[in-house]
Amino acid sequence: MHEFALLLASALSAGTPLALASLGLLVNEKSGVVNLGAEGMMLMAAIAGFAVAVTTGNQWLAFGAGAVVGGLLAALVGLLVLWLGTNQYATGLALSLFGAGLSAFVGLDYVGRNLPPFGPVHIPLLSGLPFVGPALFSHHLMVYLTMLLALGIHLFLHRTRAGLVLRAVGESPQSAHALGYPVRRIRLLALMFGGALCGVAGAYLSVIYTPMWVQGMTAGRGWIALALTTFATWRPGRVLLGAYLFGGVTMLQFYFQGAGVQVPSQLLSMLPYVATIVVLALMSRNPVWIRVNMPASLGKVFRPME
């Protein structure tokens, strides 16, 4: 029972960076742009956040640094994709490769450095409850902020005019342009928002979750976050749920080891990736369903006639 509470707690904690990144990517995909650079942005933000945390000792500055780095890199992708009309897949891929290389390069001095632990928030009364206390109410503040963010994004997309405009741009950039909406600027902002959230996710990984810097430490989480938007059919609530589920799968190996189950650790480490593949296949198998839910212009180049 106690171990299960710990698994639940660690699922929330491990799922939080996935949820953050995926929520951000969901917003820029709703505007019709896919950013395969998620992994690169997360890595760059992870080292930037870690460096700031080491230097200042302030975790919130670290999150801010991550957000800025992620947002700027996303703006770079936006410049290429939106104004120069480059292929969205190739450009995002370039960012992922570039981010992996550059983060390894600038992070060399930080390998092996330690950070003071930034403690969790113990919610008064609730955290004292048996089982649910440690499972749900003794986490880092970012875990709760992420949940609020999912709610906020849902309300933004479906209850505000700005959210409607964003969805309209993703649905048909031609129509939005004809009505006079600045399609490229809207998409750039959406991309930067997505990048900033990927950045916060990266900083959370290196500053709170691990907490240390290792080359390539995101270990494909950016890609899993990309897959999550599809699993969730572009709905924030489902993104959150999916992220915690994957967080749980990641943590399963420690749970198994704790329980004394004899499985090679490498095979257990494969689990999140295999699970991603399996779930992706299951969720995508109905092309009609995906088509109805996917932003119609996703991945396509839009060039306004001027």
Partner 1 sequence: MLRLEPRAAPSRAMLLLSPLIALAVTVLFGAALFAVLGKNPLAGLALFFVEPVKNLDGLAELGMKATPLILCGLGLAACYRANVWNIGAEGQFVLGAIAAGGLALHAGDGTTRWVLVPILFAGMLGGMAWAGIVAFLRDRFNANEILTSLMLVYVAQYLLDDLVYGPWKDPHGYNFPQTALFAASTILPKLIPDTRLNIGFAIAMVAVVMMSLFMRRTLQGFRLIVGGQAPEAARYAGFSARKSLWTVLLLSGGMSGLAGALEAVGPLGQLTPHVSQGYGFAAIIVAFVGRLHAVGIVFSGLLMAMFYIGGELAQSRLGLPNAMTGVFQGLLLFCLLAADTLVTHRVRLARAGVRHA
Partner 2 sequence: MWMAWRLELENIGKRYPGVVANDGVGLRVAPGQIHAVLGENGAGKSTLMKIIFGAVQPDCGSIRFDGVQVQVRTPHVARSLGVAMVFQHFSLFDTLSVAENVWLGLDRKPGLVEVARRIRGVAAGYGLDIAPERPVHTLSVGERQRVEIIRALLTDPKLLILDEPTSVLAPQAVHKLFGTLRKLAATGCSILYISHKLDEIRTLCHHCTVMRAGKVVAEVDPARESNASLSRLMVGADIARPKRRPAQPGVVALQLSGLSQPAADPYGVDLQDISLQLRTGEMLGIAGVSGNGQRELLAVLSGEDARAPRGSDDAGNLRVAPGSLQLFGTSLAGSSPEQRRHAGLRVVPEERLGRGAVPAMDLAANTLLTHTGAESVRHGWLRWGAVAARTQAIIARFGVRATGPQAAAQSLSGGNLQKFIVGREISGAPKVLVVAQPTWGVDVGAAAHIRAELLALRDAGCALLVISEELDELFEIADRIVVIARGRLSPALPIAEATVERIGQWMSGLWDAAVPPHGLPLRVGEEETGRSEIGRTDAALAAMPVAIAAPDFLLAGGEDHGEERAAASPRSQHAQA
Task: List residues near partner 1 by CB under 8 A.
Answer: 36, 40, 76, 80, 83-87, 89-91, 93-95, 97-102, 104-105, 108, 215, 219-220, 223-224, 226-227, 230, 264, 266-267, 269-270, 273-274, 276-277, 280-282, 284-287, 290
Does position 233 interact with partner 2 (CB under 8 A)? The reply is no
Kindly tell me which of 175 and 269 has the beta carbon lying closer to partner 2.
175
Give least dist CB 50 to partner 2, A.
Answer: 41
Give least dist CB 224 to partner 1, A.
Answer: 8
Positive or negative, the CA dihedral 88, 90, 91, 92 is: positive
Binding range to partner 2, per CB under 8 A, among 34-42, 137-145, 238-246, 288-296: 288-296
Instruction: Please enumerate in sequence order all residues whose Cβ is within 8 A of that of 134, keeping only pairs 6 or more positions apart, or say none.
Output: 5, 6, 9, 127
Does position 106 interact with partner 2 (CB under 8 A)? The reply is no
HSE, side-chain direction, 13 A CA sphere, residue 69: 32
Instruction: State the binding string over 167-206 for partner 2 (x if CB under 8 A, else -).
Output: xx--xx-xxxxxxxx-------------------------
DSSP element (H, E) containing 121? strand 121-122
Rounded Cα distance between 90 and 137, Å, is: 42
Q: From the list partner 1, partner 2, none, pick the one residue 84 interacts with, judged by a Cβ distance below 5 to 8 Å according to partner type.
A: partner 1
Give least dist CB 143 to partner 1, A.
Answer: 25
Q: Residue 138 gets which letter from DSSP? A: E
Binding range to partner 2, per CB under 8 A, among 60-68, 124-132, 159-167, 185-193: 159-167
Does position 285 interact with partner 2 (CB under 8 A)? The reply is no
Rounded Cα distance between 253 and 266, Å, is: 9
3-state helix/strand/coil string of 139-179: ECHHHHHHHHHHHHHHHHHHHCHHHHHHHHHHHCHHHHHHC
Rounded Cα distance between 278 and 207, Å, is: 31
Does position 296 interact with partner 2 (CB under 8 A)? The reply is yes
Using an 8 Å Cβ cutoff, are 19 and 205 in contact? no
Rounded Cα distance between 170 and 105, Å, is: 36
Does position 58 interact with partner 2 (CB under 8 A)? The reply is no
Kindly tell me which of 99 and 248 has the beta carbon lying closer to partner 1.
99
Does position 264 interact with partner 2 (CB under 8 A)? The reply is no
Cα radius of gyration (the chain): 19
Give least dist CB 304 to partner 1, A.
Answer: 12
Binding-site ranges for partner 2 (CB under 8 A):
161, 164-165, 167-168, 171-172, 174-181, 288, 291-292, 296, 305-306
